[in-house]
């Protein structure tokens, strides 16, 4: 063996020990800190929508206890806080399966990590849900409660039919997607409704006729935002929701960005994203009457910078059959794209932003959810929010500045190589969570309508004005 590699091996071994200890410590803190549990209780109480006691959550046996980590040594490390903060425990075995085809799949000895909603600000738990191990196959794994049996197939009844889900009946969807937990089966047969473990309504709810068992989990799946979905008055009907909102049990975003490494959120841009572009702002839009006054905003912006409006609300045309070509011109001709949603609702961020905007080589200007929500979901420094500016004129001034400085403009593309938009395997997560529910107290929405539409979930004006208004009160 060459001399140098012995030394390297030694350094590497020390590095591994330190990093491993830090991971252990991070687990330890999260697992055993009673404060953390308190926070859970408080936030669920304040929200008022969830009825559950929370002492259950993540009350897993800690199988890392056996390892003696020297905490006094670790806390002497100046970088400890930074290291722990940047460490994603789901990456401790390298890239997971949902990022890399042959990446790490959860094994029976893995912990279950914070998979239930805590509060709006705690994130969507999608990655955690994708890493739930199939934990009670034979009742011998360290995480399995004594006496646990081989998990039954969970039967899921889809009252709106299989067609609306574009999927097949039975276990196929779970096995074909190689879900970590695949012991689930779909059916649209009404005769099976009463005995199903879960009923999942899609966009539309009508009360089933059978007597409901307290063990049957009723799930409401909504694709659109509150302004475009059925008005449901019934109380106490849903146990879980599947929506784009971060507090849903199963969050279903339009796209989900994940970094390969939480510590690397930007990389120097090699290509010049401004090269050869001769036009400034573009917008594709067909619904001219959106309630958030986006059209008025675009017209005001037009007074200060060139805005090409394609579609029935504007003067430019890009025929629908040449759909791809429409998107191409964003990458080749335009510097900016108006990714304006049709409603200003919290967490509501659609393909307009992810596909038209981030998917092209163009800088999206967003209107829709509050800035904090875009920061939560989007790659770092990947967009401009209209609320960053007091007026369309001030936004236009900033766009002129970016237009004149390629360095500044290209900074908005430094996220491009640092991660990917993942498949969030909705059915895999559904199956994992249904099995996970056995270890968790019942939960339900006592007023779904209030949770979905109430308060400031969706507003007519801008978030900027709302905040100003609330500050002045």
Ligand X SMILES: *[C@@H]1O[C@H](CO)[C@@H](O)[C@H](O)[C@H]1NC(C)=O
- Which residues are catalytically annotated? 224
Nearer to ligand X among residue 4 and residue 270 (C-beta): 270
Min dist CB 375 to ligand X, Å, is 21
Out of 16, 33, 287, 405, the residue judged to bind ligand X by CB under 6 A? 405
3-state secondary structure 51-114: CCCCCCCCCCCCCCCCCCCCHHHHHCCCCHHHHHHHCCHHHECECECCCCCCCECCCCCCCCCC
Is 194 a binding residue for ligand X by CB under 6 A? The answer is no
User: Is 275 an interacting residue with respect to ligand X (CB under 6 A)?
Assistant: yes
Q: How far is the CB of 332 from ligand X (least distance, A)?
A: 7
Nearer to ligand X, 73 or 469 (CB): 73
Q: Coil, strand, or helix at residue 134?
A: coil
Least gap, CB of 440 to ligand X (angstroms) = 8
Closer to ligand X by Cβ: residue 149 or 408: 408
The residue of the chain with the least Cβ separation from ligand X equals: 442
Residue closer to ligand X by CB (options 128, 197) is 197
Work out whether 397 is an interface residue with ligand X (CB under 6 A).
no
Enumerate the H helices of 303-354 as residue ranges: 323-332, 351
Task: Please compute, for residue 211, the number of CA atoms within 13 A of its CA located in the half-sphere on the CB side.
Answer: 0
Q: How far apart are CA 435 and CA 383, in angstroms?
A: 38
Q: What's the CA gap between 382 and 364, in Å, rounded?
A: 8
Of 370, 375, 374, which Cα lies nearest the Cα of 387? 370
Q: Does residue number 152 form part of the binding site for ligand X (CB under 6 A)?
A: no
Which residues ranging from 104 to 133 are in contact with ligand X (CB under 6 A)? none
Taking CB under 6 A as the criterion, the residue among 157, 337, 425, 444 binding ligand X is 444
- Cα distances (angstroms) measured from residue 317 to each of 298, 309, 325, 394, 455: 17, 8, 12, 28, 39
Q: Which residues contact 440 (CB under 8 A, 6 or more apart)?
A: 52, 56, 57, 116
Q: How would you label 44-59 residue by residue, b for 16+ Cβ within 10 Å and e otherwise?
A: beeeebbebebeebbe
Interaction residues for ligand X, span 76-95 (CB under 6 A) = 78, 80-81
Least distance CB 391 / ligand X (angstroms): 23
The whole-angstrom separation of Cα 209 and Cα 364 is 48
Distance (Å, whole) CA 243 – CA 452: 10
CB 316 within 8 A of CB 310: yes
In the bound complex, what is the minimum distance in angstroms from residue 76's beta carbon to ligand X? 7
213 scored as a contact of ligand X (CB under 6 A): no
95 or 327: CB nearest ligand X = 327
In the chain, % helix, strand, coil (3-state, to 5) comes to: 35, 15, 50
Span 276-315, contacts to ligand X by CB under 6 A: 276
Among 103, 145, 323, 442, the residue binding ligand X under the rule CB under 6 A is: 442
Please identify, using beta-carbon distances, which residue of 169 and 407 lies nearer to ligand X. Answer: 407
**Complex with ligand X: residue 70 or 394, whichever CB lies closer:** 70
d(CA 321, CA 431): 38
Q: Whole-number minimum distance, CB 221 to ligand X, in Å? A: 16
Which of 80, 227 has the CB closer to ligand X? Answer: 80
Stretch that binds ligand X, among 150-158, 243-251, 426-434, 436-444 (CB under 6 A): 436-444
Stretch binding ligand X (CB under 6 A), from 26-34, 186-194, 233-241, 372-380 = 233-241
C-alpha span between 310 and 326 (Å, rounded): 9
Per CB under 6 A, 195 contacts ligand X: no
Per-residue tokens: 349: 């961020």
Candidate residues 21, 134, 239, 342; the one interacting with ligand X per rule CB under 6 A: 239
- Residues 221 and 66: their CA atoms lie apart, in Å, by 42
CB of 215 to ligand X, least distance (A): 6
* 407 interacts with ligand X by CB under 6 A: yes
Determine the 3-state secondary structure of 166 from DSSP: coil
Q: Applying CB under 6 A, which part among 65-73, 105-113, 203-211, 455-463 lies near ligand X?
A: 65-73
325 binds ligand X (CB under 6 A): no
Q: Which of 7, 168, 190, 215 binds ligand X (CB under 6 A)?
A: 215
Q: Interface residues with ligand X (CB under 6 A)?
A: 70, 72-73, 78, 80-81, 214-215, 217, 236-237, 239, 271, 275-276, 405, 407-408, 442-444
């Amino acid at each position: 063996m060459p001399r140098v590699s012995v030394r390297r091996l030694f350094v590497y071994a020390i590095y591994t020990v330190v990093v491993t200890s830090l991971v252990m410590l991070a687990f330890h803190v999260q697992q055993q800190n009673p404060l953390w549990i308190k926070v859970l209780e408080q936030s669920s109480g304040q929200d008022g929508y969830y009825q559950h006691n929370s002492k259950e959550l993540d009350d897993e046996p800690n199988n890392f206890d056996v390892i003696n980590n020297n905490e006094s040594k670790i806390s002497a490390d100046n970088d400890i806080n930074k290291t722990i903060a940047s460490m994603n425990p789901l990456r401790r075995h390298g890239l997971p399966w949902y990022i890399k085809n042959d990446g790490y799949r959860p094994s029976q000895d893995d912990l279950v990590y914070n998979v239930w909603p805590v509060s709006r600000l705690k994130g969507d738990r999608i990655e955690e849900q994708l890493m739930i191990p199939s934990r009670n196959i034979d009742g011998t794994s360290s995480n399995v409660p004594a006496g646990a049996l081989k998990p039954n197939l969970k039967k899921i009844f889809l009252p709106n039919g299989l067609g609306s889900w574009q999927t097949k009946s039975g276990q196929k969807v779970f096995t074909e997607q190689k879900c970590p937990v695949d012991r689930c089966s779909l059916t649209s047969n009404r005769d099976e409704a009463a005995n199903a473990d879960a009923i999942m309504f899609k966009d539309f709810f009508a009360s089933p006729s059978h007597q409901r068992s307290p063990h049957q989990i009723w799930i409401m799946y909504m694709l659109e935002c509150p302004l475009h979905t059925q008005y449901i008055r019934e109380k106490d009907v849903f146990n879980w929701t599947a929506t784009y909102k971060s507090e849903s049990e199963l969050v279903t975003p339009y796209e989900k960005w994940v970094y390969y490494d939480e510590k690397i959120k930007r990389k120097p841009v090699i290509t010049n994203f401004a090269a050869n572009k001769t036009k400034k702002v573009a917008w594709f839009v067909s619904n001219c009457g959106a309630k958030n006054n986006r059209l008025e905003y675009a017209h005001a912006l037009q007074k200060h910078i060139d805005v090409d409006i394609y579609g029935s609300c504007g003067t430019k045309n890009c025929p629908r059959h040449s759909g791809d070509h429409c998107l191409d011109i964003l990458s080749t001709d335009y510097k900016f794209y108006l990714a304006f949603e049709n409603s200003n609702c919290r967490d509501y961020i659609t393909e307009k932003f992810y596909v038209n905007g981030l998917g092209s080589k163009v800088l999206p200007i967003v209107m829709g959810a509050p800035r904090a929500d875009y920061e939560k979901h989007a790659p770092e420094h990947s967009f401009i929010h209209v609320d960053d500016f007091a007026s369309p004129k001030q936004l236009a001034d900033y766009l002129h500045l970016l237009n004149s400085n390629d360095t500044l403009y290209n900074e908005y593309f430094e996220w491009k190589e640092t991660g990917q938009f993942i498949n969030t395997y909705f059915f895999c997560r559904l199956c994992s969570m249904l099995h996970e529910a056995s270890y968790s107290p019942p939960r339900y929405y006592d007023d779904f309508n209030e949770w979905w539409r109430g308060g400031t979930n969706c507003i007519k004006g801008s978030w900027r004005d709302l905040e100003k208004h609330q500050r002045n009160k």
